[in-house]
Amino acid sequence: MLSLFGLVLIVKQINTRHIIENMELHCCDKKLITLNERPLHIDHQSCLNADEVYPKCCDSDSVLEKIDSSYSCTPDLTHRIQIIANETNLVARSEEGFCVDVENSVSLFKLNGTEVIKVKEVEVEFYPKCCPVDYFYNSTTHGCVKSTKKLDTFFREKFVRVGLPACRIIEDVRVNTIKRWNESLQLVQNKVFDEGLYCVDKDQDNLFVARACRDNYDICERIRCVHKCCPDGQSFINGSKCYDTFVHGLDLSSFAGNVDNINEKCSDRFIINS
């Protein structure tokens, strides 16, 4: 019988960047950016709070995009970077002030009525969540599910990076305890994963799941590997182009016995051992 966590997904290969593990920090290391005598605090640890960040320029489902020579709020088609803010959609109110939003990366903008001016890109620390905000990870379907009720927030960061789109091999690990050292992750099994090479979420049973990048196919000798055509969080829509969907996972629970085409590495049929 196939174990739900005895699964490794092999996705389209994209180069990953290795980041050296950092030492443990015992305090909050802040950066202070001063703009026109008004400070903008961006924390490097989990002590960022709503009073220390500016409002989000657009609503929660939109990002700023430069069209011709001006910025406008457009639908967020990827949801790969999300900002959690108490106040949103400052642009729609044509007010003056500062706000943050996503234009490729997190950036600070100045609003002069209807005019939106990009001030600079800012460095922030992201929480590596496997699914978008308000979604949980279904460990059976290996996809994201939008919650019908308000989810308990298990992290304090206001900036979220979603999924592992650059991972070649992804392993799901259910854990009881999660320890983070300055953005690297140590699981209770004493495995350590560096920044950018893991994500964390809760599943349908409200248990923690860590999804970790692997770069060695040796893991496939002990865990059945499934070749996935699109990167993590993406799937085909009306053709062979991959789009960020997050909700279309790989539900292997309905398969029984053996599936053929064992040498076919990218298809709609997956290789499973019963």
Of the listed ranges 135-144, 183-192, 197-206, the one predicted with least confidence: 183-192
Q: Is the pLDDT of residue 256 over 90?
A: no
Q: Average of pLDDT values for 181-196?
A: 63
Confidence of residue 9 (pLDDT cuts 50, 70, 90): low
User: How many Å apart are CA 232 and CA 148, to the nearest integer?
Assistant: 23
> What's the mean pLDDT when you consider all of the chain?
74
On whether the pTM is more than 0.75, the answer is no
Confidence of residue 187 (pLDDT cuts 50, 70, 90): low
Confidence of residue 33 (pLDDT cuts 50, 70, 90): very low
Do 197 and 167 form a contact (C-beta atoms < 8 A)? Answer: yes
Selected residue with higher pLDDT from 172 and 58: 58
> In this structure, what is the dihedral angle of CA atoms 184, 186, 191, 192, given to the nearest 10 degrees?
20
What tokens does 37 get?
């005598």
User: How many Å apart are CA 192 and CA 155, to the nearest integer?
Assistant: 19
What tokens does 21 get?
């593990």
Do 238 and 133 form a contact (C-beta atoms < 8 A)? Answer: no
Q: Average of pLDDT values for 145-151?
A: 85
Contacts of residue 202, Cβ cutoff 8 Å, sequence gap at least 6: 136, 137, 151, 152, 154, 208, 209
* Number of residues written out for the chain: 274
Q: Is the pLDDT of residue 25 over 50?
A: no
Selected residue with higher pLDDT from 187 and 38: 187
Contacts of residue 250, Cβ cutoff 8 Å, sequence gap at least 6: 9, 141, 142, 143, 226, 228, 270
Q: Which amino acid is at 88?
A: T
Characterise 52 by phi-psi region: left (phi > 0), alpha (psi -120 to 50), beta (else): alpha
Q: How far apart are the first and last CA of the chain?
A: 5
Instruction: Name which of 234, 131, 227 is nearest 170 in CA terms.
Output: 227
User: How many Å apart are CA 202 and CA 193, to the nearest integer?
Assistant: 18
Angle at 61 between CA 59 and CA 67, to 5 degrees: 80
